[in-house]
Copies of this chain bind each other. A is one copy, B any other.
Amino acid sequence: MDVMRRIEDTIATVIGQGERGKYPPKLAAAIRHAVFPGGARIRPRLCMAVAIACGASEDLRAAESAAASIELFHCASLVHDDLPCFDDAALRRGRPSVHVAFGEEIAVLAGDALIVLAYQALLGAGAEHAAKLPSLMHTLCRAAGMPSGIVAGQAWESEPNASLAEYHRAKTGILFSAATESGAIAAGADPSRWTALGARLGEAYQVADDIRDVAASSHDTGKPMGQDLAHGRPSSTRALGLKGALKRFEYLLDSALASIPSCPGGSDLQELIRLESQRLIPEEISRQAA
């Protein structure tokens, strides 16, 4: 079974656990709307890729649980980020955002339920992997909450003195680090050797997002464009210009690849990351800037 299929199946299993017996139907529909059909599932695929690179090819259940957990938390953060009090975004992945489709109450609750489901996903690895649970939980908590997880990153938008680095690390980088670290934990490897890969890929991804926010069209990205500027948010294209941001992206990607520690599947992982990175910046933009 391919990796993408494993991720989708695991996420579907976790969400299905929340639909047993009697449940509030609108909330259930909103949760599914927030999660399916997914985007590129870049974080869970990274998690699985690291687990496989570390040699966990026979029993991937811990990696699947960790990957699903990270994606579910990511979906939660998107639902809440789109709310009227934040981005007030009407579109997400080319469809109405959750609060537009289901109302604000259900969107707040869908985000909450998805955070809970992210933790619940970690319980799916089975008793043989129970010893990994504290590390996986700790990694998710750090990437999710205070002082420097996704939620804290979003809160920096309400602070007058946020640095771009601080903001990006918390807003994006840390969930990528959690993905690489969790993949290592799931495979029984040392997570601290995999932090740098996640952090650099996360920053590269954020820079690519900033580039697309100014240079691509809504049609390409499935969400409203020019949002960073409109909301006065820190942005690498604003700080570095389009050319400078593209250069920064290349630098981060190279340094991510260089950080991959020695492991059974290191060269396959390098190849995969190189391929993936080409999807992040539309060719036309690179050409325009050159």
Contact = CB atoms under 8 A, between A and B. Distances in A.
Interface of A: 17-28, 31, 76, 80, 83, 85-86, 103-106, 108-109, 111-113, 115-117, 119-120, 122-123, 127, 130-131, 133-134, 137-138, 140-141, 144-149, 151-152, 154-159, 162, 166
B152 A113 contact: yes
Contacts of A119: 119, 137, 140-141
Contacts of A123: 134, 137-138, 141
Contacts of A27: 146, 151-152, 155, 158
A113 B146 CA distance: 7
Given A120-B145, A147-B18, A158-B26, A105 B130 contact: no
A159 B24 contact: yes
A82 to B, nearest CB: 11
Contacts of A166: 22
- Among the interface residues A23, A26, A104, which one has the most CB atoms of the partner chain B within 10 A? A23
A159 B25 contact: yes
A159 B24 CA distance: 7
Q: How many copies does the complex hold?
A: 2
A140 to B, nearest CB: 8
Chain A contact surface mostly: helix
Contacts of A17: 146
B19 A109 contact: no
Given A155-B26, A158-B106, A18 B146 contact: yes
A120 B141 contact: yes
A25 B147 CA distance: 10
Given A105-B157, A133-B134, A134-B123, A22 B147 contact: yes
A223 B151 CA distance: 28
Contact of A85 (B108, B122, B133, B149): B108
Given A108-B85, A144-B116, A24 B134 contact: no
Given A141-B120, A147-B19, A111 B113 contact: no
Contacts of A141: 116-117, 119-120, 123
B145 A23 contact: no
